[in-house]
Amino acid sequence: MAQTDIRPRHQELGLSDDDVLGMYRDMLLARAVDERMWLMQRAGKIAFIISGQGHEGAQVAMSWAMRKGQDWMAPYYRSIASAMTFGMDAEDIITAHLAKADDVSSGGRQMPGHYGGAPYNIVSLSSPVGTQVLHAVGIAMGAWVRGDDVVTMTQFGEGTSNQGEIHEAMNFAGVHKLPVIFVCENNGYAISVPLDQQVAGSSVAARAVGYDMPGVVVDGGDVLACYAATKEAHDRARRGEGPTLIEAHVVRLTSHSSDDDQRRYRDPEEVAALKERDPIPQFAAELRAAGVLTDERDETMRAEIKSLVNEASKRAEARPEPTPEDAHERVYAEPIPGGGTAVPLAPIDGGH
């Protein structure tokens, strides 16, 4: 007799085996690219890295619920796996980190970690934290004004959840029931300052009640729970019922950035324990238990990803460097006199 009474969780959520294997693969790929960036940073090829390691489960699952090429995303600096799930490929990411001339995010103008890609509806990110959340709400407002079937997702950390702009954005989205999903990736640390000194009451999700939207807490190590919460938020947004705030509890497996050393402010035991909450082995175990993933499949996938990242790195490194002559271009959409002009203009003719 077939065991039909207990279906695997992913099937309950409407996800096929290929879907969950695809999600797993995206997580592995994002991790592999992230690790490659660190190697390149240590080799002196990249000046700075800000990592997404530990966030991949939440990021891939949540972005998986979004419609590529139709929905929009306003990411933050750890959004490597979100950006990749939403359309950027390994070569795009590596090219951007190497700041090459044809990097899709900025043409070598921005630091690593400043994700963006016009072809993928991923809004270019700046460095002052939280500003992107208002852009997401503005895109949602635009879709609402036009009547477009578009949902916008934006991500930020729990430290950033204190910025006034986040609250302005959530309030505005709540007032007009805008189709937007706010994702707080809570990894417990804003650089060095822990959650209890950042967020009064330690819950970001609890803030949602003040903005007339659901505040949902999910375990960022539970990929399918992250997907389920986001799918529901996406459906709500499309039904015109407004925004959702999702707080995903994730782990930051690395220091804040390549310029930081978290051993200065975190206990060694705490850092060692983080690995147990790494979403990748957790999801692998779930997929194995569901009979979707085998050791052989896992090994093949990892080998494929390794060679994909090697190839992408080679191609990215071979791309042209930007030139100073080009740095004066694309300052304004319509070039203006005195805009982006570095050389002083000549004196006018004549005189006494």
Partner 1 sequence: MAELNILEAIRTAMDEEMERDDQVMVLGEDVGKKGGVFGATEGLFAKYGHKRVLDTPLTEGMIAGAAMGAAVYGLRPVAEMQFADFVYPAFNQIVSEISRIHYRSNGTFSAPMVIRMPYGGGVHGALYHSQSNEGYFTHTVGLKVVAPGTPADAKGLLKASIRDPDPVMFFEHKKTYRLFKGQVPDGDTVVPIGKADVARSGKHLSIFCYGFMRTCALEAAETLAREDGVEAEIVDLRTLRPLDTETILASVAKTGKALVVHEANRFGGFGAEIAAEISERAFEQLDGPVTRLAGPDVPGVPYHHSLEDWYMIGPARIVDAARKLAAY
Cβ(130)–Cβ(156) under 8 Å?
yes
Residue 336 touches partner 1, criterion: CB under 8 A = yes
Residue with Cβ nearer partner 1 (41 or 154): 154
Kindly state the DSSP code that residue 193 receives in the 8-state scheme. Answer: E
Residue 5 touches partner 1, criterion: CB under 8 A = no
Q: What's the count of helices (H) and strands (E) in the chain, helices before strands?
A: 11, 7
- Distance in Å, CB of 340 to partner 1, minimum: 7
Kindly state the DSSP code that residue 334 receives in the 8-state scheme. Answer: S
- Distance in Å, CB of 235 to partner 1, minimum: 22
Please report, as residue ranges, which positions from 119 to 138 form the binding site for partner 1 (by CB under 8 A).
123-124, 126-128, 131, 134-138
- Distance in Å, CB of 337 to partner 1, minimum: 5
C-alpha pair distances (Å), 174 with each of 126, 178, 214: 25, 7, 10
Q: Which of 11, 13, 35, 106 binds partner 1 (CB under 8 A)?
A: 106
Residue with Cβ nearer partner 1 (40 or 74): 74
Q: Which of 40, 66, 74, 98 binds partner 1 (CB under 8 A)?
A: 74
Q: Which of 33, 58, 66, 104 binds partner 1 (CB under 8 A)?
A: 104
Residue 72 touches partner 1, criterion: CB under 8 A = yes
Residue with Cβ nearer partner 1 (118 or 191): 118
Cβ(54)–Cβ(278) under 8 Å?
yes
How far apart CA 115 and CA 101 sit, in angstroms, is 15
Q: Rounded to 5 degrees, what angle do the CA atoms 75, 76, 78 make? A: 115
Residue with token string 């570095």: 342
Residue 324 touches partner 1, criterion: CB under 8 A = no
- Distance in Å, CB of 159 to partner 1, minimum: 16
- Distance in Å, CB of 38 to partner 1, minimum: 24
How far apart CA 352 and CA 342 sit, in angstroms, is 28
Nearest CA to 22 among 255, 293, 299, 312? Answer: 293
Interface with partner 1 (CB under 8 A), residue total: 59
Residue 320 touches partner 1, criterion: CB under 8 A = no
3-state helix, strand, coil in the chain (%, to 5): 50, 10, 45
Residue 345 touches partner 1, criterion: CB under 8 A = yes
Residue 192 touches partner 1, criterion: CB under 8 A = no
Residue 193 touches partner 1, criterion: CB under 8 A = no
Nearest CA to 101 among 308, 330, 257, 309? Answer: 330
Nearest CA to 116 among 64, 159, 75, 174? Answer: 75
Residue 339 touches partner 1, criterion: CB under 8 A = yes
How far apart CA 89 and CA 95 sit, in angstroms, is 10
- Distance in Å, CB of 124 to partner 1, minimum: 4
Residue 161 touches partner 1, criterion: CB under 8 A = no
Residue 162 touches partner 1, criterion: CB under 8 A = no
Residue with Cβ nearer partner 1 (17 or 168): 168
Please report, as residue ranges, which positions from 141 to 160 form the binding site for partner 1 (by CB under 8 A).
141-146
Residue with Cβ nearer partner 1 (44 or 351): 351
- Distance in Å, CB of 170 to partner 1, minimum: 10
Q: What is the DSSP string of 281-305?
A: HHHHHHHHHTTS--HHHHHHHHHHH
Please report, to the nearest 10 degrees, the dihedral formed by the alpha carbons of residues 52, 56, 60, 63 taken in order.
-40
Q: Cβ neighbours of residue 262 under 8 Å, at least 6 residues apart?
A: 189, 192, 252, 254, 255, 256, 271
Binding site for partner 1 (CB under 8 A): 72, 74, 103-110, 114, 116-118, 123-124, 126-128, 131, 134-146, 164-165, 168-169, 171-172, 175, 329-334, 336-340, 344-348, 350-352
